[in-house]
Amino acid sequence: MRSLPEPGSLDSDVASLPAVPGAEAPPSATASATPLIVASLAGVLAVSVLLAIGLGAATVPPGETLRYLWAAVTGGSISADDVTAYQIIWQVRTPRVLLAVLVGAGLSVVGVAIQAMVRNALADPFVLGVSSGASAGAVLVGVTGALTALGIYAVSAGAFLGALLVSALVYLASRGAGGLMPLRLVLTGVAMAFGFQAVMSLIVYFVPDGESTSTVLFWSMGGFGAATWGALPVVTVVTAVTVVVLRRFARSLDVLALGDETSVSLGVDTLRLRRGLFVLTSLATGAMVAVSGAIGFVGLVIPHLVRLWVGAAHGRVLAIAPLVGAVFMVWADLVARTLVAPRELPLGVITALVGVPVFVVLLRRRGYLFGGR
């Protein structure tokens, strides 16, 4: 990202700063413990992925699941009796679970960045209206049949274009003489979200058929039922780039959280930094919503949980949040597709049922503040 300032120049200044209230990690989660936490969470994620791939309406034991996955990766052979189970594991469940991992990780780190960018504890990846724009774009393509040249990717492309449109509108509407101001960004994003939700309501009103209604429900509540291997490469690249870039600028995010005046006094160009973060998070959110719909509360709750665990230093938060978000999303998706099987619950319902009480408990903890304890 050319628009982000070089982080190395901030190290000496940040190191000399007094401790930020809430930035101190609990004794059990110091900086030296971060590699151990990351390794443990990686192991939990690997086990979760294996179990989630095997569990479902047709349960496959972990040993058999590993055998099918190994055969698929190495090109090994399987018996004719195993073809059905193999197809369920490799063609249906594996891309779905991997997509849940990527989207959960991506939404979590984007949530961390947006909360720092707008300095608002209630911010999440959808506060800028990106999800509503993506949903409206997907529904419009599905109803009108536009972008048919893209085949099965037409709806996802429509969602991504809708997300880009909203991002551009929010940027243009919130930009002023002082650059992108946090409060103006949030208010503009909320207004755009309501506007594009109205567009979806109009589509359902004028095209009152079951297909358009179900499409609106899917893109509003999210899910991985339409996951394919073809959707994984783009989301993998987007998530990886987002995590790497944000980790590189963790120090800058620490400074930004102190306020614009302090950031400027330390040599941080807050206008460039906020503009770069806005572009990066908008593109990442749009890419994820384009393949999964709008899945709420993940990007809101996970950053707070991780800060409560390891403190507010973004270096640690950005290392741990994607793993926590990935594990949470894998299990939330498993519950969504097995709780009332053979029917599938909208994933947003599960994340909200978990996220709302967790968030309320966090807010009521004595001494808990945005950014830490």
**pLDDT one-digit tens code per residue, 108-128:** 999 999 988 888 777 888 888
Higher pLDDT: 135 or 317? It is 317
Query: What is the pTM assigned to this prediction?
Result: 0.85
- The gap from C-alpha 309 to its chain's centroid, in whole angstroms, comes to 19
Q: Which of 170-184, 202-216, 292-306, 314-328 has the highest mean pLDDT?
A: 314-328
pLDDT at 6 exceeding the cut of 70: no
Segment 208-218 mean pLDDT? 68
CA separation for the pair 111, 95 (Å, rounded): 24
Full DSSP string of 58-120: S---HHHHHHHHHHHHHT----GGGHHHHHIIIIIIHHHHHHHHHHHHHHHHHHHHHHHHHT-
**pLDDT score of 33:** 83
Query: What CATH number is given for 28-49+91-364 in this structure?
Result: 1.10.3470.10
Residues 54, 60, 66, 72, CA torsion sign: negative
pLDDT band for 34, please (50, 70, 90 cuts): confident
**pLDDT score of 14:** 41
Stretch among 81-95, 105-119, 150-164, 256-270 having the lowest mean pLDDT: 256-270
**pLDDT score of 10:** 45
Stretch among 89-93, 133-137, 285-289 having the lowest mean pLDDT: 133-137
Q: Phi-psi category of 22—alpha, beta or left, where left has phi over 0 and alpha has psi -120 to 50?
A: left
- HSE (CB half, 13 Å, CA atoms) of 340? 8
**pLDDT score of 193:** 87
C-alpha closest to that of 248 among 193, 315, 302: 315
List Cα–Cα distances, 322 to 87, 251, 292, 368, in angstroms: 29, 18, 17, 22
List Cα–Cα distances, 60 to 63, 75, 116, 207, in angstroms: 8, 20, 43, 42
**pLDDT score of 9:** 46
**pLDDT score of 257:** 78
